[in-house]
Chains A and B, each alone.
Chain A
Amino acid sequence: MAVCVNVFHKCLRLPSTLLKLRPVVHKLNATQITRTFCSTNALAARKYTEQHEWIDVQGKIGTVGVTDYAQGALGDVVFAQLPEPDSELNQMDDCGALESVKAASELYSPVSGTVVEKNKDVEETPALINQSPYEQGWLFKIQLSKPEELDALLDEAGYENHLKNTGH
């Protein structure tokens, strides 16, 4: 992928957490300066539920997973029961479960919509959820039917506060 040098230097000043996220790549030409390379937009797009799911929306498709706090609280995940593609979900419907230490913990859909993909790698290797909860451990992708529902979810700061205020 091509990177504008101006943008690269901007990235060096960003907090290190942002640098770990996937880049938004834009086509460059010689005369244009693009939007910021690093993932400010991806981070800004990620929302959270109080039940510790995250959703990262690109266009109309949201990628859903569970947070680092959740994977720690669960323990080693041994089985992921994920929603099937084409299932219709409403916001906060229980849509699957993660099993760890003989405990099955329900998963909730952060938004309404239609499931377009489930992560088969996670079904094969549930430990990905523990190892990489925001990247390879994503659980399913959903086409949003009501994007306005995202407004009701927590942003990064809101989620951190939620963890602090509720004694997690």
Chain B
Amino acid sequence: MKISVISQNFHRSVNVWSVGFLKYQTAYHIQQYLANLQSQRLNKEKTLDGTIIIVEHSPVYTTGIRTQGYSESEERRLKTLGAEFYRTNRGGLITFHGPGQLVVYPILDLKSFNKSMKCYICKLEKTVIEVCKSFGVEAERSLDTGVWVKDNKICAIGVHGSRYITTHGIALNINNDLSWFSHIVPCGIPDKGVTTLSQELRKPLTITDVIYPFLQSFSHEFECDMKMLSHEVRKDVVNHLKKENLTSDITEAQLLRNNDLKLK
């Protein structure tokens, strides 16, 4: 069943694109393409006030701009575990993405929202807290950016802003294998742990169960309507990925299929 448009007649609107299971690098190129498109103000019809990319990654460790603390030998060590490793331009320290974790990249034009980065981060945290609450999990903010269930982080946040266009985003643990985190100090915070929604609820949840509640919460917190990203723009993205040799026929079909996000 296709997700219907979320429309509460807000004066802002964002696109939604659930890209499915993708490698980190491919998703990063999609982010960059959409961010460039967003920054060209003439394209407002195509881009609206932003696009939310929903993705699930194969195992990957990533660092942010404070990357000097992670040596090449550290990088090699983590790769031998079977994960990829990327140094990115986001804020935040090292984290892990993998199957069973809901990763969301809002490519927003903050000129249409509140321009303060501090405010953007706070709204992302509140969005995730509301999602957790809707499943009966009490989560909260703390002095360390992210969303926490007591001393365990349930959602990591790390973003980048360039001329008010945001990239990167959040990673909410649904039913991912937490043992990947044991090989790092997640987000550089040594005396805290990690958890998932499934672990907190003691029952299995999947990403599919959480996507629509997430979008509802985002729509409410950011006061924006949502609609599916047009086929035209998705086709442009796929053509761009083809030129960069970043896509296969399978990936192309996956990216161009109609979004079939299930309503709860």
Residues of A within 8 A of B (CB): 51, 72-75, 78-79, 81, 94, 97, 99-106, 166-168
The minimal Cβ–Cβ distance linking A140 to chain B, given in whole angstroms, is 16
Chain A contacts for B14, CB-based, 8 A:
none
- The answer to the question of B186 belonging to the interface, with a C-beta cut-off of 8 Å to chain A, is no
| Interfacial chain B residues near A168, Cβ < 8 Å | 115
Contact B121 A102, beta carbon cutoff 8 Å: yes
Q: Choose among B65, B116, B157 the residue that contacts A73 (Cβ–Cβ < 8 A).
A: B116
Task: Knowing A79-B65, A104-B64, A106-B161, say if A99 contacts B115 (CB, 8 Å).
Answer: no
B161 adjacent to A105 (CB under 8 Å): yes
Assess whether A102 is in contact with B116, with CB atoms less than 8 Å apart.
Answer: no
Return the chain B residue nearest A97 by Cβ: B65
- B157 near A99 with CB under 8 A, answer no
The docked-state distance in angstroms from the alpha carbon of A167 to that of B110 is: 12
Q: Which of B128-148 contact A (CB under 8 A)?
A: 145-146
Binding site for A on B (CB under 8 A): 64-66, 89-92, 111, 115-121, 145-146, 157-163, 187
Give the docked Cα–Cα distance between A78 and B93 (Å).
11
Q: Is the CB of B120 within 8 A of A79?
A: no
Q: Are A99 and B163 in contact (CB under 8 A)?
A: no
Flag if B117 contacts A103 (CB, 8 Å).
yes
Given contacts A79-B65, A94-B162, A99-B66, contact A104 B118 (CB under 8 A): no
* Closest Cβ–Cβ distance, residue B107 to chain A (whole Å): 14
Provide the bound-state CA to CA distance between A74 and B120, in Å: 10
Question: Closest chain A residue to B118 by CB distance?
Answer: A75
Sample of 17 further A-B pairs with CB below 8 A, known A97-B65, A104-B161, A166-B115: A73-B117, A73-B118, A74-B118, A75-B117, A75-B121, A79-B65, A99-B64, A99-B65, A100-B91, A100-B117, A101-B118, A101-B145, A102-B64, A103-B118, A103-B121, A103-B159, A168-B115
